[in-house]
Amino acid sequence: MLGRSLLGLLLTALPLLTSAATSWKQVKLGGGGGFVPGIVFSTKTKGVAYARTDIGGLYKLNSDDSWTPLLDWAGNDKWHNWGVDALALDPTNSNKVYIAVGMYTNSWDPNNGSILASSDGGSTWTEYPLSFKVGGNMPGRTLFFGARSGNGLWKSTNSGATWTKVTNFPSTGTYVQDASNEYTADKVGLAFVTFDASSSSSGSATKRIFVGVANVNTTSIYYTEDGGSTWAAVPGQPTTNNLPHKGVISPSEGLLYVTFNNNAGPYDGTIGSIQKYNIAAKTWTDITPVSGSDLYFGFGGLAVDLQKPGTIMVAALNSWWPDGQIFRSTNSGASWSPLWSWASYPTMNRYYKYDVSLAPWIGVTATDDTKQIGWMMEALVIDPFDSNHWLYGTGLTIYGGHDLLQWDTTHNITLKSLADGIEETAVLGLISPPTGPQLLSAVGDVGGFSHSSLTTAPSTPFNTPLYGTTPDIDWAGQAPTNLVRIGSDASSTSRQVALSTNSGATWNEDYGAATGIAGGKVAISAAGDVVLWATSSNGVMVSRYTNAFTAVSSLPSSGVAIASDKVTDSTFYAASGNKFYVSTDFGVTFAAKSATLGSSSTANDITVNVKVTGDVWVSTDAGLYHTTNSGTSFTTITGFGATWSISTGAPKTTGGYPSVFVIGTYNSVVGVYRSDDQGSTWTRLDDAAHGFGSGSANVICGDQRTWGRVYVGTNGRGIFYGDESGSSTSTVSHIFT
């Protein structure tokens, strides 16, 4: 009897888990939204091209200029695969694609990198682990593979399945951007590996290979004439301000063109040069297009026109003011023409028409930043089959066009944003109020948007004030046209709290906020008259009627999750560690409840039943908790481990309990889950094709008007929305532990 009773205590039934066929689609921004450091055209097959991003995966070009994502299958255990650090195509088979993936080489990413290989144009992939880290989102963002972190040059002879270090390669790179900061303290390593196809006959291994190494003021370019058996420094190379970025062969000319910078980029660099190396004569020529006071930037992107020998283009990597710059030469660099020039300061001659019709908001962002042409321009290519077609990547989008040859005639081209399908934003917050736009987003680097349409790019980001990054956004439960959002720039003269009374159509600074305070999380009261702000570095603060924000001393100074009640104006909730707090005096003071959040050490998110005061859900590092009495007691939702973002949405039946959406770990599986019955049963919504990257970095939002619709904001692939498209089938029931 004792044995049976004890056994009974150990058996715990998990809530029923089902899976539902969910139709996932992208919320369209249409303009990329992040850094595109590499674009490669196939020289074998017309129209085949791929673009790699630093945190948003890999994309393939379509015939209509749009792009298809290829790594959306990467889920929580493969989130680092969205950092694509290198890209190569098989020159004899355009369906064979190789990428080096990994997000960071420092402690932020515990995973070693991998080589992903595809033989079907990116439809399927085979992953081959590496023994070291790869950093697609590290400084200096760039079969032989040149590695970071002093790991040197590696070689594969079996299509990437195994790799051997080239131990006789002379240098692994000594350049470190900034040793005082973990993010910038790593060795940049090797910058490029360029094959000279003319050095070997078809079907045999390439004998001549050039490798650029991140060294400054010393030898930085090496070559081999025997397929890597021996290596030597390229003779006569420049050794001043000579960190190489791109090395491109012009085969018909027998030239190697190289762009140099005095820093690794993609943000820095104050001087550089462009050099061409005559391979047969072994001579270098400086062909830098500007000098003196006009040379205040380094050089990054570099392209040759394979159809027109002697035609080359180069991009200024870091011309931060007044705009980026691109130069074009039709005589191997003897003379150049720019994409813009000064007419009479401050008037610029812009030799292009600017077309951002696919993503109108880009025009607002670029104009505010004074840089239409762009910044961080490491990728620049000319279609090897079409001299009119060109593309280049920036820190914001992909630009290009189909009338490039007009540069040489009328000196006026169409510069168009051509990033449709590339969604690379890091999404920090989402709301879906019951009125106004169906979705509003808080986004890193590009601010945030009112999405009046989910399938059409917004016309403008949030502005007046325009925040570069919007960490969070919230709506007032009883006055849902009233919104609050915050900015992240503590150094700005703009106050980093903004209010709207018309669903985000227009905004005004909250004059109760002091300058010098930024970031964190924000909540607005049910009536819209109180703002509670958990700042990044100044603790939790509160303001009513836009009066000056004051400190909330009854809450911890950091690590606090906050939310407003959507029914009662005076009520706010907070959580920190395993403690839950409630305020009933408009956020001025909070009292800790005696009931705790179990063994939690971190409270991640709070959401509420928008129709009932005191009905609150809390996600933590140790589980999911629910209270219906303002925290007097909590129910632990069985089956959940670490849970991160949580949200309620429209109920399945009129007047029913709201759906609850969670990104978290259920039965040790990280996924996107929904419950329609207060957590008694759960439905898994993500699938093999939609992994959404890092679960802990993502945000979730239920739609308040449409049952079952959920929005997932990712850390690198923008926003997805899902609608149930099929009946649920049981996949797990009554699992015992």
Does the pLDDT at position 488 exceed 90? yes
pLDDT (tens digit per residue) in 715-727 = 999 999 999 986 4
The whole-number pLDDT of residue 689 equals 96
- The pLDDT, as a whole number, for residue 476 is 98
User: Is residue 185's pLDDT more than 90?
Assistant: no
pLDDT of residue 196 exceeding 50, the answer is: yes
Residue whose pair of structure tokens reads 């009905």 in the numeric block:
615
How far is 150 from 172, CA to CA, in rounded Å?
Answer: 5
pLDDT confidence band for 247 (50 / 70 / 90): very high
How do strand 352-355 and strand 413-417 relate by DSSP bridges? parallel
Q: How far is CA 35 from CA 66, 188, 383, 463, 477, in A?
A: 17, 18, 21, 22, 37
**Confidence band (pLDDT; 50, 70, 90) for 133?**
low
Closest alpha carbon to 286 in 226, 229, 230, 332: 332
**Count of Cβ atoms closer than 10 Å to residue 10 Cβ:** 8
Coil, strand, or helix at residue 117? strand
Element (H, E) at 300: strand 299-304
pLDDT band at residue 481 under the 50/70/90 scheme: very high
Buried b (16+ CB within 10 A) or exposed e, 106-137: beebebebbbbbbeebbeebeebebebbbbbb
CB 61 within 8 A of CB 49: yes
**131 or 718: which leads in pLDDT:** 718
Amino acid 179: pLDDT: 74
Strands 272-278 and 283-286: antiparallel
Is the bond preceding residue 235 a cis peptide, omega within 30 degrees?
Answer: no
- The CA-based diameter of the chain, rounded to the nearest angstrom, is 96
Residue 262 has pLDDT above 50, yes or no: yes
What integer pLDDT is reported at residue 175 of this predicted model? 85
Residue 660 has pLDDT above 90, yes or no: yes
Q: Please name the residue ranges forming H helices in 323-444.
A: 361-368
Spatial CA neighbour of 144 closest among 94, 199, 83, 208: 208
The residue with greater pLDDT, 726 or 224, is: 224
| DSSP H/E element including 454 | none
Give the phi and the psi of residue 355 in degrees, each rounded to 5: -125, 105
Token couple for 350: 């812009």
pLDDT at residue 12 above 70? Answer: no
What is the reported pTM?
0.93
CB contact set of 18 (below 8 Å; sequence gap of 6+): 681, 682, 683, 684, 728, 729, 730, 731
Averaged pLDDT for residues 625-645: 98
Question: pLDDT tens-digit profile of 147-169?
Answer: 666 788 888 888 878 888 899 99
Contact 175, 214 (CB under 8 A): yes
Tokens 């490669």 found at: 40
> Phi, psi at residue 76, to the nearest 5°?
-60, -35
**Rounded Cα gap, residues 712 and 26, in angstroms:** 10
Residue ranges, CATH 2.130.10.10, the chain? 30-417
* Band of pLDDT at residue 734, cut at 50, 70 and 90: very low
Distance CA 711, CA 698 (A): 10
Statement: residue 336 has pLDDT above 80: yes
Burial of 251 (0-12, 13-18, 19+ CB in 10 A): middle
Higher pLDDT, 425 or 80: 425
465 or 10, higher pLDDT: 465
User: Cα–chain-centroid distance for residue 444?
Assistant: 8
What's the pLDDT at 726? 65
176 within 8 A of 187, measured Cβ to Cβ: yes
Task: Find residue 451's DSSP bridge partners.
Answer: 439
Name the amino acid, one letter, at 425: T
Give the dihedral sign, CA 589/600/109/32: negative
- In the predicted model, is pLDDT for residue 532 greater than 80? yes
CA distances from 720 to 89, 118, 430, 723 (A): 29, 25, 11, 10
Q: What is the mean pLDDT of residues 181-209?
A: 84
pLDDT value at 2 more than 50: no
* Distance from C-alpha of 242 to C-alpha of 167, rounded to nearest angstrom: 24
In contact, 473 and 440? CB cutoff 8 Å: yes
pLDDT exceeds 80 at position 394: yes
The rounded percent of the chain whose pLDDT value lies above 90 is 79
User: Given this model, what pLDDT does residue 732 score?
Assistant: 31
pLDDT of residue 7: 32
- What is the pLDDT, as a whole number, of residue 8? 32
Instruction: Show Cβ contacts of residue 501 under 8 Å, excluding neighbours closer than 6 positions.
Output: 481, 482, 528
CA 633, CA 694: separation in Å to the nearest integer?
31
Separation between Cα atoms, residue 268 and residue 184, nearest integer Å: 12
Cβ atoms within 10 A of the Cβ of 305, count?
A: 21
Residue of 124, 121, 145 lying closest to 44 (CA atoms): 121
8 Å CB contact between 287 and 329: yes
CATH architecture observed for domain 30-417: 7 Propeller (2.130)
What is the pLDDT, as a whole number, of residue 369?
Answer: 63
Provide φ and ψ at 606, rounded to 5°.
-135, 135
Nearest to 174 by CA among 190, 162, 159: 190
Q: Running DSSP on this structure, what letter comes out for residue 367?
A: H
Q: Identify the CA nearest to 51 among candidates 65, 42, 38.
A: 38
* Tokens encoding 301: 């992107």
pLDDT tens digits, one per residue of 267-318: 888 999 999 999 999 999 999 999 999 999 999 999 999 999 999 999 998 8
Helix, strand or coil, per DSSP, at residue 697: helix
Q: Would you state the pLDDT for residue 585?
A: 98
243 vs 219: CA distance, rounded Å: 9
Contacts of 654 (CB under 8 A, 6+ apart): none
pLDDT value, residue 143? 54
Rg of the chain's alpha carbons, rounded to an integer? Answer: 27
* Mean pLDDT computed over 485-507: 97
719 has which bridge partners? Answer: 27, 713
**Calpha distance 455→365 (Å, rounded):** 20
Query: Which residue is catalytic, options 54, 65, 196, 305?
Result: 54
Predicted confidence at residue 138, as pLDDT, reads: 60
The single residue of 90, 386, 408, 445 carrying the catalytic annotation is 445
Q: Above 90 in pLDDT, residue 514? A: yes
Q: To the nearest whole number, what is the mean pLDDT of the chain?
A: 91
Dump strand ranges (E) for 487-568. 497-500, 508-509, 521-524, 530-534, 540-544, 550-551, 561-564
**CB distance 362 to 375 below 8 Å:** no
Of the listed ranges 120-134, 673-687, 699-713, the least confidently predicted one is 120-134
The count of residues in the chain is: 737
Write out the two tokens for 361.
């908001």
Catalytic residue status for 54: yes
pLDDT of residue 144: 54
| Residue 368: per-residue pLDDT | 61
569 belongs to the catalytic site: no
Closest to 687 in 3D by CA, of 676, 707, 671: 671
Instruction: Give the DSSP per-residue string, 226-237.
Output: STTSS-EEPTT-
**Is 142 a residue whose pLDDT tops 70?**
no
Rounded Cα distance, 87 and 425, in Å: 21
d(CA 64, CA 187): 40
Bridge partners of 118, per DSSP, are: 97
CA distance 161 to 139: 27
Report residue 615 as tokens. Answer: 């009905």
Indicate the SS3 state at residue 143: coil
Q: Is the omega angle on the peptide bond into residue 266 within 30 degrees of 0, that is, cis?
A: yes
pLDDT bucket at 4, cuts 50 / 70 / 90: very low
With H, G, I as helix, E, B as strand and everything else as coil, classify residue 695.
helix
Q: Worst-scoring range by mean pLDDT, 14-18, 301-305, 326-330, 623-627?
A: 14-18
Q: Is the pLDDT of residue 627 over 60?
A: yes
Name every residue whose Cβ is closer than 8 Å to that of residue 1 and which is 6 or more positions away in sequence. Answer: none
More confident residue, 369 or 422: 422
H or E element: which one contains 573?
strand 572-576
Report pLDDT for 13: 56
Cis peptide before 289 (omega within 30 of 0): no
Model confidence at 498, pLDDT cuts 50, 70, 90, reads very high
Residue 277, CB-side half-sphere exposure with 13 Å CA sphere: 20
